[in-house]
Amino acid sequence: MSELKEQLAIGVDLGGTNARVALVSTSAGVVESERIATSSLERPGQFVDWLAQHVATWSKDRHLVGVGIGAPNGHHGRGTIENPPNLPWSGVSPVVSMLAEATGKQVTLDNDANAAALGEVRFGAGRGHDHFAMVTLGTGIGGGVVVDGNVLRGADGFGGEVGHLIVEHGGRPCGCGRRGCAETYASVRGLLATVLQGVERGDPGAEAFDDEAFRTDFEAAGRRVGEAAAAGNPLALAAYGHAAEMLGRALADLASITAPSRVVLFGGLVLAGDAFLGPLERHFEAGLLSCHRGLIELVVSSLPPGHAALLGAAELAFRRADQA
C-alpha cells in the first residue's frame, strides 16, 4: 500500500483555459507545479512534448511511479481524449500511448471529473469515504462517483454522469441532445438562464440584470448573480434556490442508486455560500428516501481551486503502481 512509504508521481490537469502539471507526493500533495495556456497547445503532440519535458526534469534525481492525466472527455479504458469540446484540437487522441512512448513512464488517464473525485478521496473531503461523489458546478456539471473506494466508470467508461440525471422531463434542452438534465439548471449556465427568464418576466430584482453586458460576458454575469444574492437581490436568491432544488433532485436520485456517505461540491455555484447551499441542503434532505435521511453529508471541497483534479490525476498513477 502506498500509505506506507512516500511515493512521487506526476499529475496533469488539462482544462479548457490552462493545462497544469505537478509533481505530487503521497504525503505532501503538490510539491511543484507549472501551467501553460491551453490555447498554446495546438495539437496533442505539443501537449505531450510539454509534459515530457517536465517528466524528464522531475525524474532526474527521483523515482516517479508514473504519470496520471485528467482531461475533458478522457477515456480511462482506452487511454484517449475523445472529441473534447473545449480544447484546441478535436478527434480521438491516444495521449497515453504517446506520452508513454515519449517518456518510458507508465501513464494513466481519466476524465477530469473522475480525477477530481479521486483527488478528494486521497487528499480532500473524500478521505475515509468508500461511497462518495464529487460534483463540480461550473459552466456545466462534472460528476465523479466512487463506489467501494473505486471510481464508478461503468462497462463503457462513461458512468458517473450526475449532471445528466434528468430532473425535469421535457425541461430545458441540454447540450447532450436530451431535455431536463440537471446541468441545464444547476450549472453556472443554468443559473444564468434562470436569471434571464426572471428578467424577461420582470420579476422583482430583475432590474439588476437587465443590460447587454449581462447577456454577453458569461464570467462577469456569474459573479454578478453571486454578488446580487449576497446583497439580497430577490431574483438572484430565487435563481440559486431553483438551481438548488434541481440539483437536490439529481443528488437524491444518485443517493437512491449509490447511497454515498458524503457528496463533495465544488465550482462557481458553491461560491454563493448559503444562498445556494442552504436551499440545496433542504431540498436534498427532503427528496431522499427515508432510509438515507440524515446519513449523507453535503460538504464543500476544501482543496485549493483546481487542485482536486491535479492531485487525483497523480492518484491515478499511485493506484496503478499499487496494482502492479
Stretch binding a second copy (CB under 8 A), from 31-39, 89-97, 251-259, 267-275: 251-259
Cβ-Cβ contacts under 8 Å for 20 (sequence gap 6 or more): 12, 13, 33, 34, 35, 306, 310
131, 172, 224, 307: residue in contact with a second copy (rule CB under 8 A): 131
Q: Cα(51)–Cα(68) distance, rounded to whole angstroms?
A: 11
260, 279, 306, 312: residue in contact with a second copy (rule CB under 8 A): 260
* Residue 261 binds a second copy (CB under 8 A): yes
* Residue 291 binds a second copy (CB under 8 A): yes
* Residue 186 binds a second copy (CB under 8 A): no
Quick note: the x/- pattern for a second copy over 80-119, rule CB under 8 A, is: ----------------------------------------
Q: Cα(191)–Cα(236) distance, rounded to whole angstroms?
A: 9
* Residue 145 binds a second copy (CB under 8 A): yes
Residue type, 148: D
Cβ-Cβ contacts under 8 Å for 250 (sequence gap 6 or more): 162, 163, 165, 167, 182, 186
Q: How far is the CB of 125 from a second copy (least distance, A)?
A: 14
Stretch binding a second copy (CB under 8 A), from 54-62, 170-178, 207-215, 311-319: 170-178
167, 236, 277, 303: residue in contact with a second copy (rule CB under 8 A): 167
Cβ-Cβ contacts under 8 Å for 285 (sequence gap 6 or more): 293, 294
Cβ-Cβ contacts under 8 Å for 197 (sequence gap 6 or more): none
Q: Is the Cβ of residue 228 or residue 243 nearer to a second copy in the bound state?
A: 243
In the sheet that 8-14 helps form, which strands lie side by side, from edge to edge? 29-37, 18-25, 8-14, 67-71, 107-111
**Residues lying near a second copy in the complex (CB under 8 A):** 129-131, 145, 147-148, 150, 152-162, 164-169, 176-178, 249, 252-261, 287, 289-292, 295-296
